[in-house]
Amino acid sequence: MYFGHYAVAVAVKAKEPDVPVAPLLIGTGLLDILNGAFIMGGLDKVTPNLNASPYLFFDLTFIDWDHSLLMAIFWTALYGLACWLLYKKNTKIGIISAMVAFLHFVADLPMHNADMAIYPHSATKMGFGLWGTLGVWSWVIEILFTAILLTYAWKKHKDRGENIWMQIVLICLLIIQLSPWFSPMKAIATLPEPAAHLMHGFVVFIGFVIPGLIMTWMYKRSEKKAKMVHVK
């Protein structure tokens, strides 16, 4: 899952408007930010496979240091603690930030092809395999999941006088960008090693850092405009 993770953060922000958006947007991509870094560092391993649908074009051969159940709990708990400290020991922000980060693991379970271990190097792997069994239709399911959450978020923000159309447009662009036809991973998978896995890790890393930063700015802008309207 990719753009669906952003939809989760947007929906939580709509439900909890007093929680800063930055820890939600960073948290929702935390496990993949780590995954990208670990792939580049050689801790995780991906293998080019042009038949890996719908937009992967890589097999996630070993991702246990970030996408195993044990490590997901560890990293998200650590992230929640960091947010708690950063935001002046605000318990609500710490808990919700950790929750959003762990929801990444939960949302990945239906899609992943039995590559999510219980703990690093565990023989038992989780993942319902919708990517492998449904192909392009798993991308469509992710779009429907995203649409439901964005509709909820749009309504909640609208009720508060805030317009989040830019955030929704950005997520729609991400849907197109990581589609079966435009995914950059297909071209990356054709590169020789080690360029293939290094570029894969880099794209995964920036794929959550850059949109997250852009969307954080968008929220600051939409919140500012909403406040100005209320003042008038």
pLDDT above 60: residue 232: no
Helices (H), 16-89: 21-28, 30-41, 64-67, 69-86
Q: What is the mean pLDDT of residues 16-42?
A: 96
> Residue 101 and residue 212: Cα distance in Å, rounded?
13
Tokens of 227: 């406040």
Do residues 122 and 68 make contact, with C-beta atoms less than 8 angstroms apart?
Answer: yes
pLDDT above 80: residue 196: yes
Q: What is the mean pLDDT of residues 114-127?
A: 96
Single pTM value for the model: 0.94
**In terms of Cα–Cα distance, which of 201, 143, 126, 156 is closest to 16?**
156
For 143-195, write each residue's pLDDT tens digit: 999 999 999 999 999 999 899 999 999 999 999 999 999 999 999 999 999 99
Tokens of 119: 């703990």
Range list of β-strands (E), the chain:
45-48, 58-62, 116-117, 125-126
